[in-house]
Amino acid sequence: MRYELFIATRYMKSRQREGFISVISFITITGITIGVAALVTVLSMMNGFESEVRERIVGTLAHISIFTFDDVGIQETDKLLEEVRKVDRVVAAAPFVYYKASISSAKENDGTMVRGIDPNLERGVSNLQETITRGDLNLDTLESGLPGIVLGETLAERLGVTVGSRVVLMSLKDMSLVGGVTGMKMPKVAQFTVSGIFSNGLHEYDASLSYISITSAQKLFKLEQKVTGIQIKIDDMYKSAQVAAALNRDLGFPYFATDWTEMHKNLYSWMKLEKYGMFLGFALIIAVAAFNIISTLVMLVLEKKREIAILKSMGALRKSISRIFVYQGLATGTIGTVLGITLAVIVCLLQQEFGIISLPADIYFISKLPVRMEPLDFVVISATSILLSFLAALYPAHRAGRLYPVEILRYE
């Protein structure tokens, strides 16, 4: 062991009892520990929440969607599906219709976003089947003689309907205002029987989405054989931007592909901004704790100046004296960081296992805060904490190295 490191270790121990960290060092280490633990824990929980939201959104609306620039719909659906399925990484593709409609029950009226789908193809691109809590995904003609419709749980509650109830959809596609008066085109109206109710936990979808067969949607919205777009599932959702770019290049005008990150850009931008804000906030706590090292080491330099003078008179170089205090600052930061990471991992594991922090499920769609520990977060936070500790130790170390032994020993 280098003698500088040995002396730095000795200086960290209390003068009263060998083996105990001095009180002021203990306070500094505790501050770093709390700051690191809080930062890692909060970021891990935000990672978990973001991942949960992402999986639910992508599970509902697939990875990539293809539309037309002129918004008149896609006519040659089968030909386009065949081309799309040839693209690398594409696992499944399915057509869909998507328009606004008014929905009415015997008790209430409301608005809904209607998605016309082919249930057989839909199973390959989304997890709609898994989110159905009551009934099933039967959109064909039921025993009532009416086609089936699947409603979001919140929407069904507002309408006061359940499986087997009848509802009426009125297309809003051809509704227009001319001089403040509704246009002359008569909207299409159709009756449906509720065959299922789904809940994916996202209020935006549970309160507004409804599913009918693609054939029923084409009739309701007077599309003939057209569809609104094609939704696609790929083998790696994080490659969606590259696959969307490939689709745009291969298909060309009038089609354009957009991936899930673009469709929900505002939501993900907000979550990233929140994450960066949390990082900066808790990083300041670590910085304050780390810079307590300055006062700690300055006091230690003043306390140990006689020993420093003796070392210098014995031939110790200025850089060796400085190194003693840099080592002590790094040791303080490293101990606090390791303890903070350890504490954070324990808290995260307890949260995963027991759900210590619970959430109101009716608001946040999950009953306990999910956790996802990212190795990169651990590396960045640890490196930042230790770097701040190193920087904080430079000034006291420099000051210790500049002490003159003759002047000190003369007055001691």
pLDDT at 344: 94
Instruction: Tell me the two tokens of residue 188.
Output: 């299409």
Instruction: Tell me the two tokens of residue 365.
Output: 């769609």
Q: Which long-range contacts (CB under 8 A, 24 or more apart) does 310-314 make?
A: 310/405, 310/409, 311/7, 312/403, 312/405, 313/405, 313/409
pLDDT at 178: 44
**Integer Cα distance of 59 and 165 in angstroms:** 27
Pairing of strands 229-234, 64-68: antiparallel
Q: How is 206-263 classified by DSSP, letter by letter?
A: HTTEEEEEHHHHHHHTT-TT-BSEEEEEES-GGGHHHHHHHHHHHH-TTEEEEEHHHH
User: Where are the domains positioned within the chain?
Assistant: 3-56+267-411, 70-252
Q: What would the pLDDT profile of 320-364 be if each residue is shown by its tens digit? A: 778 887 888 888 889 999 999 999 999 999 988 887 887 776 666
Q: Are 81 and 256 in contact (CB under 8 A)?
A: no
Q: Where are the alpha helices (DSSP H) in 304-374?
A: 305-313, 318-354, 361-364
Spell out, as residue ranges, where the chain has pLDDT lower than 50: 14-21, 177-180
Pairing of strands 209-213, 109-117: parallel
Q: How is 249-309 classified by DSSP, letter by letter?
A: HHH-TTEEEEEHHHHTHHHHHHHHHHHHHHHHHHHHHHHHHHHHHHHHHHHHHHHTHHHHH
**Integer Cα distance of 402 and 318 in angstroms:** 7
Q: Which residues contact 285 (CB under 8 A, 6 or more apart)?
A: 31, 34, 35, 38, 39
pLDDT at 70: 77
**Integer Cα distance of 382 and 380 in angstroms:** 6
| Entry pTM | 0.68
Q: What is the DSSP letter of 21?
A: B
CA–centroid distance for 148 within its chain: 35
pLDDT at 18: 42
Convert 54-66 into a string of H (helix), E (strand) and C (coil).
HHHHHHHHCCEEE
Q: What would the pLDDT profile of 170-201 be if each residue is shown by its tens digit? A: 988 766 544 445 555 677 899 999 999 998 87
